[in-house]
Amino acid sequence: MSLTPLETLQQIFGYESFRGVQADIIGHVVEGGDALVLMPTGGGKSLCYQIPAIVREGVGIVISPLIALMQDQVDALLELGVRAAFLNSTQDRAEAHRVEQAYLSGQLDLLYVAPERLLTPRCMDLISQGRVALFAIDEAHCVSQWGHDFRPEYLGLSVLAERWPNVPRIALTATATETTRAEIASRLALESARHFVAGFDRPNICYRIIEKNEVRRQLLAFLQAEHAGDCGIVYALSRSRVEETAAFLSKNGIEALPYHAGLDAATRARHQARFLREDGLVMVATIAFGMGVNKPDVRFVAHIDLPKSVEGYYQETGRAGRDGLPATAWLAYGLQDVVRQRRMIDDSGGEPAYQRRLVAQLDAMLALCETISCRRKNLLAYFGQTIEPCGNCDTCLQPPVSWDGTVAAQKMLSAIYRLWRERGQRFGAGHIIDVLRGQSTERVRQYDHQSLSVFGVGADLSVAAWRGVLRQLLALSLVTVDLEGYGTLALTADSREVLKGERTLMFKRSAEAPRRPAGRRAGSAAAIVLPPDAQARFEVLRAWRSGVAQNHGVPAYVIFHDATLREIALAQPQSLEDLSGISGVGARKREAYGEEILSCVSV
C-alpha cells in the first residue's frame, strides 16, 4: 500500500509536519497539476517534488543544472532509503547503462538529469520508454535571460509540455521578481500552472553592508572577529580577485580555496568536494560556485564586490544558514564597483532593452546598499513582500545618522555641470572631489580647474564623505556614469530640481560596525548554546557522524544535520521509539543508525 504525502514526510524524511505552502504544492502536483514554486533557499523546495515523485506511479525526472547538486541530492535520498540515481558525464558507459535499466524496469523513484543530456534524442527516447511520474525543473530562474544564472539549455525544456502533455511539471526557484516569474512561465510553457509564492524572509540571516576600505583587510577582520573556524563563502567579481583573496586568507591562517571557471574541471570538483565534506573551510569564488549547494552549516556569505542585481545577491546570500541557525550576509562595496559594473553592462553588447534592464537591476542593488531604513525590509520589497523593520540587519542594529545633504549635493552637481558646460570636459569621481575640496593637484593645475567657481567650496567634507554623497546621488539617479567618457560622471534629467533648490535630500553618514553583545560571535552557530552535558553529547555525536560520512563517502550533513544532532543531544533518547519523535530521523535512518546513536548519548 502506497504512503500518503504526510506519511511519506514522517516515515521517510523524519519530519512531523509540512512547512508553509509545502502541503498545498505537494497535493497539487500529486493530483497532476503543474506548478511554479518560489521558495527561499532552505525553505524545503526539494520536498515539493521528491514526495510527489515517491507517491505517484512512475519515476520523477529532475532537471538539475549542476553535477555536484545531483550527487548531493542522490546521496541524501539513498541514505533515506529512496531509490534515486542520476545520469551525467561523470559515469562510465557501464554505470550509465545500469541506471538506464533501473529506470526502464521501474526500480527508481527519482532520476536526476542535466538539461543538456535530457534534450538529446537518445535520452528523450529513453524517457519515453518508461513511466514518468513528474518533471521537476530545479533552479528554474536559469531560463530567464533577465536572471543571474542564465542557461540557454533551459530554453529547450518547453518541449516537455509538447511531448508529455499529461505529466505534471513543477518549476522551482528561490528568487524571481514578478517579471522574471512571468518569463519563466512563458519559456517553460507553464502559463496555466498554479503559482506558489512562499515568503522570502530568512530571519536567521543578519544583513550587513559596509563601504570598502582595503577590502581584504576588512574581510579578514570580519572573519577573525566573528566567524573564526566557521564554514563560509566569499564571492568576488573576477578570477584574479578570487585567487588573490584565497591566497591572502590562507596566508593569514584561514583555510580557503579558490573556485572559478578558469580552473580545470578536476580542480573545481576537488575543491567543491572538500567544501562539502570538511568543517571550517572557506570557499572564495565567482558566482560560478554555489547554485544548488545544499550544505546547511554555511555560517556566512561575504561579497567583496558589488553584486549585479538584488536577485543575484539574495540567491547568493541564501546559501548561508540553511539549517536555520544564525548566519551573516556581509558585503563591502565602493564607488568604483558601480563604475565597473556599468562599464561591463555597456560592453555586454546586448540589445538596448536588455542593457536598460541590467542598469535597472544595478540601480536597485545600489539603492539597497545606500538605504537608511531596514535593510531586510528594502530587500524583501524588491520581491513584493512587506515586513516591519527586522531588528537583525546593520541599519536596525545601529541606525545610520541622517543629515541634510541638499547643499552638498548641489555643490557636487554644480561641479559636474561646470566642468562640462564651461570647459566641455567630464571627469571621474576622484578629480571632481579634488576640485570641490580645493586640492591643487597636478591634474587640477593642468586643466586650470582652480579657477572654477566651485574650486574649494567643499573643503568642509572629507574625501570619504564626498564619496558617500556621490554614491547616494548615483543611487537616486541624480548622477549617472557616462560610459562613453570612460566612466566619467554626468547629470541626469532629475538633477535640475536639486540644483534649483526644489528638492531636499537626506543622506546617511558612515557608521561604525554594529555593536554586538560581549562574548557572542555574530551569526555563529556558537550563539546557540547547549548545556554542558548536552554539548558533550553533541560533540560525541558529531565525531560519530564524521566517521559514518567518511565511510559512506558523503558529506556529514547527508547523514544528519547539526540541528538534528543538537535535538538528540538535548533529548538524550533512551530507546528507538524516543528517536522517532526527533526532526530529521525517519524510519530508514532510525533503523540504520538508531542503536549507534543511543550508544553515543549514553556515554
Q: Where are the alpha helices (DSSP H) in 394-509?
A: 394-397, 406-423, 429-437, 442-446, 463-475, 495-499
pLDDT at 515: 45
C-alpha cell at 24: 498545498
Q: What is the pLDDT of residue 269?
A: 84
What is residue 563's predicted lDDT score, i.e. its pLDDT?
Answer: 87
The yes-or-no verdict on residue 43 having pLDDT over 90 is no
Instruction: Kindly report, residue by residue over 299-355, the tens digit of the pLDDT.
Output: 999 999 999 999 889 989 989 998 888 999 999 998 889 888 888 887 777 778 878
| Digit-coded pLDDT (tens) for 352-405 | 887 888 888 888 999 899 888 999 999 999 888 899 999 999 999 998 888 999
Which residues are paired to 137 by β-bridges?
A: 63, 171
Q: Which residues of 516-541 are buried (b: 16+ CB within 10 A; e: fewer)?
A: eeeeebbbbbbeeeeeeebeebbebb
512 pLDDT band (50/70/90 cuts)? Answer: very low
More confident residue, 53 or 521: 53
Distance CA 235, CA 435 (A): 35
Instruction: For 97-158, give the DSSP string.
Output: HHHHHHHHTT--SEEEE-HHHHTSHHHHHHHHHS-EEEEEE-SGGGG-TTSSS--GGGGGGG
Query: Would you call 421 exposed, middle or buried from its count of C-beta atoms within 10 A (0-12, 13-18, 19+)?
Result: exposed
Contacts of 438 (CB under 8 A, 6+ apart): 450, 455, 456, 457, 458, 459
Three-class SS of 242-262: HHHHHHHHHHCCCCEEEECCC
When mean pLDDT is compared across 3-7, 126-130, 153-157, 579-583, the lowest value belongs to 153-157
pLDDT digits (tens, 9 = 90+) for 520-534: 444 444 445 789 999
Give the span between the Cα atoms of 319 and 45, in whole angstroms.
Answer: 14
* pLDDT over 50 (residue 411): yes
Better pLDDT: 512 or 356: 356
Contacts of 525 (CB under 8 A, 6+ apart): 230, 297, 299, 325, 326, 562
Task: Indicate whether 111 pLDDT > 90.
Answer: yes
Q: Please report the domains of the chain, with CATH numbers, ordered by start residue.
A: 5-197 (3.40.50.300), 205-397 (3.40.50.300), 402-508 (1.10.10.10), 529-601 (1.10.150.80)
Which residues lie across from 60 on neighbouring strands? 110, 134
* Res 150: pLDDT: 63
Quick one: pLDDT band at residue 510, thresholds 50, 70, 90? low
111 bridge partner residues: 61, 85
**Mean per-residue pLDDT of the chain:** 89
Choice among 52-61, 62-71, 279-288 with the minimum mean pLDDT: 62-71
Question: What is the CB-side half-sphere exposure of residue 153 using CA atoms within 13 A?
Answer: 15
Q: What percent of the chain has pLDDT over 70?
A: 94
Residue 176's identity, in one-letter code, is A
Q: What's the one-letter identity of residue 593? A: Y
